[in-house]
């Protein structure tokens, strides 16, 4: 069943419901709510329903907490809601969706970069030593 | 119509109550507990293995718990209110008394004794492609309102790409974060550390400690069992059985003592307080739970009832036989 109010809104043609992250929290302390909202709405403004939360900062047990109301997410996806990239990535990590291809790509890129850093330790260390000498002379 | 509507409402509420389990703090929580039945129903020698939840065992335990109204309804630290005085006829007083007894029985509902939960070790997926992407784990909790907590999905994505079910401690912590229960903290308070437990025992606060433990931990978790075991052992060492008498923890304590065959102290305490009937039921519970023990076999042979059971137990099984016989003789002399 399609959410009927989008069909009834006169100034909102071609709009759709989207499941996305709405930012909250304080300075230097982000906190996201996973939310079903019309896509034209502002990011943090009135949403249709809150479907979960995502805390990007790890807690004292080194965990990032994500809560997901799978029942309602299934309902909204059944109504034809789209998901944004970060939400799709989170759902892929949780096992609800298949893994997002960008997650895999980013993991591979990070691994390559880490290997490059390991492969050139002498060049980097020589540069750091030169910088330290210059700071001591100055 | 008011009357049929009220009856209908009461029927719905009473059917709801059957599925509701009242937790230690008194808050009503809907939870369907997975039933834990032992794998083998017959223990040694073809006798049925007695569980804590069996009817006979529960009857005996409720009986020896006692029903001291003064202790159950003793003044609890609450907001100061001026006392309320009511003028009642005899019939109304009797009715108020019977209602108080009902309420006391409800408050004395025994705490559960369940087998310890096995650790969760399910791995749902192992995606090695994700290794090294994150430095922190992701914990995904399902916050659908209607699912019972025992069936809720709590899943952890490790930094090495492994997707596994969360362990029991992680589960309890996540469920407390998203569905907070009154009286439960996310990290267990330091009172449950062994050094602090000794202080609590010195101040005779066993009942309050066990109430706190019931609110904080799940009944089949290792910490719950450990705290209860240490408390019961301390009570048995010091002989302070009366602290828990007429509270909801007495049944659990009696069960623990019977299972570990340490019933002598409790028996002697009961005889000293002239609770001979309770002592007899305690010995019969012991014989039910350990049907292969010498006292049980003797009792079955002689078909002993009442005081004879005590005498048989004193002769066969107990280490303080002399004490029990002395107390029995003293009791018989007075009656």
Three-class secondary structure assignment of A25-79: EECCEEEEEEEEEECCCCCCCCCCEEEEEECCCCCCCCEEEEEECHHHHHHHHHC
Of the candidate ranges A94-98, B209-213, B328-332, the one whose mean pLDDT is the lowest: B328-332
**pLDDT for residue B82 is more than 60:** yes
Q: Which residues in chain B are closer than 8 Å to A68, comparing Cβ atoms?
A: 140-143
Q: Does the beta carbon of A86 lie under 8 angstroms from any beta carbon of chain B? A: no
Helix (H) or strand (E) holding B208: helix B206-216
Q: Distance (Å, rounded) from C-alpha A65 to C-alpha B178?
A: 10
pTM higher than the cut 0.90 = no
Chain B nearest-CA residue for A58: B136
Cβ–Cβ of B143/A69 closer than 8 Å?
yes
B139 and A93 within 8 Å at the Cβ level: the answer is no
d(CA B216, CA A92): 34
Indicate the residue of A61, A63, A110 with minimum beta-carbon distance to B133: A110
Q: Which residues fall within 8 angstroms of residue A52, CB to CB, at 6 or more apart?
A: A33, A34, A66, A67, A68, A69, A73, B143
Find the CB nearest B125 among A71, A95, A114: A95
Query: CB distance B136–A63 less than 8 Å?
Result: yes
pLDDT tens by residue, B127-176: 888 888 889 999 999 999 999 999 999 999 999 999 999 999 999 999 99
Closest by CA position to B177, among listed B149, B147, B208, B136: B149
Q: What residue has token string 């892929």?
A: A92
Closest CA to A57 of B285, B149, B134: B134
Q: Residue B145's Cα: distance from chain center in Å?
A: 28
Percent of chain B, pLDDT > 70? 85
Q: Are β-strands A17-26 and A82-83 bridged in parallel, bridged antiparallel, or unpaired? A: parallel
DSSP B221: S
Under 8 Å CB pairs connecting chains A and B tally to 78
Going by their DSSP bridges, the two strands B137-142 and B154-157 should be labelled as antiparallel
B83 to chain A, minimum CA–CA distance in Å?
Answer: 47
Reply yes or no on whether the pLDDT at B3 is more than 90: no
Sheet holding A82-83, edge to edge: A82-83, A17-26, A29-38, A49-54, A63-68, B137-142, B154-157, B162-165, B123-126
Mutate to test the interface with B, among A57, A63, A105, A108 (most CBs of B within 10 A): A63
- Residue of B97 and B74 predicted with greater confidence: B97
pLDDT tens column, B278-326: 888 888 888 888 888 788 788 788 877 777 888 888 887 777 778 778 8
In angstroms, the CA B152 to CA B171 distance is 9
To the nearest whole angstrom, how far is the Cα of A4 from the nearest Cα of chain B? 24
**For position B43, what pLDDT does the model report?**
52
* Digit-coded pLDDT (tens) for A98-136: 999 999 999 999 999 999 999 886 555 555 666 667 777
Residue A64 touches chain B, beta carbons under 8 Å: yes
ipTM over 0.85: no
Write the residue in B130, B139, B163 that is nearest to A65 by C-beta. B139
Looking at chain B, the whole-number percentage of residues with pLDDT higher than 90 is: 35
CA atoms within 13 A on the CB side of B77: 1
Average pLDDT score over residue span B6-35 = 42
d(CA B41, CA A118): 62
Contact B166, B123 (CB under 8 A): no
Residue A50 touches chain B, beta carbons under 8 Å:
no
Residues of chain A found within 8 Å of residue B157, distances taken between Cβ atoms: 93-94
User: How far apart are alpha carbons B130 and B317 in whole angstroms?
Assistant: 63
Cα dihedral B254/B259/B264/B269 (nearest 10): 0
What's the mean pLDDT in A16-32? 95
A29 CB neighbour count, 10 Å cutoff: 10
Q: Do B140 and A58 touch (CB under 8 A)?
A: no
Best probe of the B interface among A32, A33, A56, A64, by most B CBs < 10 A, is A64
Chain B CB contacts of A52 under 8 Å are 143
Question: Would you say A61 and A52 are in contact if contact means Cβ atoms under 8 Å apart?
Answer: no
What pLDDT score was predicted for residue A131?
67
**Which residues of chain A lie closer than 8 angstroms to B131, CB-CB?**
107, 111
- What contacts A84, CB < 8 A, 6 or more positions away? A18, A19, A20, A21
Give the CA angle between residues B15, B18, B21 to the nearest 5°: 140
**Which pLDDT does position A10 carry in this prediction?**
63
Determine the Cα–Cα distance for residues B2 and B84; give it in Å rounded to an integer.
Answer: 31
Among B132, B144, B163, the residue with its CB nearest the CB of A111 is B132
User: Which of A52, A54, A65, A103 should we substitute to test contact with B (largest number of B Cβ atoms within 10 Å)?
Assistant: A65
Strands A63-68 and B162-165: unpaired
- Give the one of A63, A71, A110 whose C-beta lies nearest to B132's C-beta: A110
Closest-CA residue to A65 (of A33, A96, A97): A33
Paired tokens of B54: 């069996």
pLDDT at B227 over 90: yes
Q: Cβ of B142 and A103 within 8 Å?
A: no
Testing the interface with A: which of B123, B129, B140, B155 to mutate, by most A Cβ within 10 A? B140
Residue in A64, A94, A106 closest to B133 by CB: A106
| Minimum distance, in Å, between the CA of residue B134 and any CA atom of chain A | 9
pLDDT band, residue B261 (cuts 50/70/90): confident
Q: Whose CA is closest to B187, among B205, B207, B169?
A: B169
Q: Report whether A109 contacts B130 (CB < 8 A).
A: no
User: Residue B154: closest CA among chain A residues belongs to which residue?
Assistant: A67
Give mean pLDDT, residues B35-46. 49
CB atoms within 10 A of CB B85: 5
Confidence of residue B6 (pLDDT cuts 50, 70, 90): very low
Chain B hits for A58, CB-CB cut-off 8 Å, are 135-136
Which residues of chain A does B127 touch, with a Cβ-Cβ cutoff of 8 Å?
99
DSSP E strand boundaries for B114-223: 123-126, 137-142, 154-157, 162-165
């Amino acid at each position: 069943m399609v959410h009927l109010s989008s069909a009834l809104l006169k100034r909102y043609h071609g709009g759709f419901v989207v499941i996305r992250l709405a930012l909250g929290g304080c300075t230097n302390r982000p906190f996201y709510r996973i939310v079903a909202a019309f896509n034209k709405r502002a990011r943090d403004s009135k949403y249709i329903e809150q479907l979960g939360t995502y805390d990007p900062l790890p807690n004292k047990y080194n965990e990032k907490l994500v809560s997901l109301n799978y029942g309602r997410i299934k309902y909204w996806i059944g109504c034809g809601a789209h998901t944004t990239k970060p939400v799709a990535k989170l759902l892929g990590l949780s096992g609800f969706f298949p893994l997002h291809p960008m997650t895999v790509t980013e993991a591979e890129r990070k691994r390559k970069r880490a290997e490059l850093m390991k492969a050139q330790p002498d060049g980097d260390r020589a540069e750091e030593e030169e910088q330290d000498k210059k700071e001591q002379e100055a | 119509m008011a009357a049929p509507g009220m009856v209908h409402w009461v029927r719905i509420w009473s059917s709801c109550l059957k599925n509701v389990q009242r937790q230690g703090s008194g808050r009503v929580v809907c939870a369907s507990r997975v039933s834990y039945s032992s794998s083998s129903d017959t223990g040694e020698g073809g006798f049925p293995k007695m569980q804590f939840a069996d009817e006979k065992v529960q009857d005996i335990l409720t009986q020896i718990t006692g029903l001291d109204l003064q202790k159950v309804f003793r003044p609890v630290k609450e907001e100061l209110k001026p006392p309320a005085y009511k003028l009642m006829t005899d019939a109304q007083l009797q009715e108020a008394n019977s209602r108080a007894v009902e309420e006391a029985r409800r408050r004395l509902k025994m705490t559960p004794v369940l087998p310890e939960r096995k650790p969760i070790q399910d791995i749902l997926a192992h995606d090695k492609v994700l290794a090294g992407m994150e430095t922190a784990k992701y914990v995904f909790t399902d916050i659908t309102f209607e699912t019972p907590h025992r069936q809720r999905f709590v899943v952890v994505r490790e930094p090495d790409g492994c997707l596994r079910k969360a362990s029991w401690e992680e589960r309890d912590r996540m469920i407390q974060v998203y569905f907070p229960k009154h009286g439960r903290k996310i990290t267990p308070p330091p009172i449950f550390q062994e050094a602090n437990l000794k202080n609590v025992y010195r101040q005779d606060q066993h009942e309050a400690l066990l109430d706190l433990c019931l609110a904080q931990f799940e009944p089949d978790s290792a910490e719950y069992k450990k705290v209860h075991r240490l408390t019961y052992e301390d009570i048995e060492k010091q002989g302070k059985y009366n602290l828990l008498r007429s509270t909801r923890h007495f049944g659990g304590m009696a069960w623990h003592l019977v299972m570990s065959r340490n019933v002598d102290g409790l028996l002697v305490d009961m005889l000293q307080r002239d609770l001979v009937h309770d002592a007899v039921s305690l010995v019969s519970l012991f014989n039910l739970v350990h049907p292969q023990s010498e006292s049980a076999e003797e009792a079955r042979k002689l078909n002993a009832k009442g005081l004879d059971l005590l005498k048989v137990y004193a002769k066969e099984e107990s280490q303080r036989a002399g004490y029990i016989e002395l107390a029995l003789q003293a009791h018989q002399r007075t009656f």
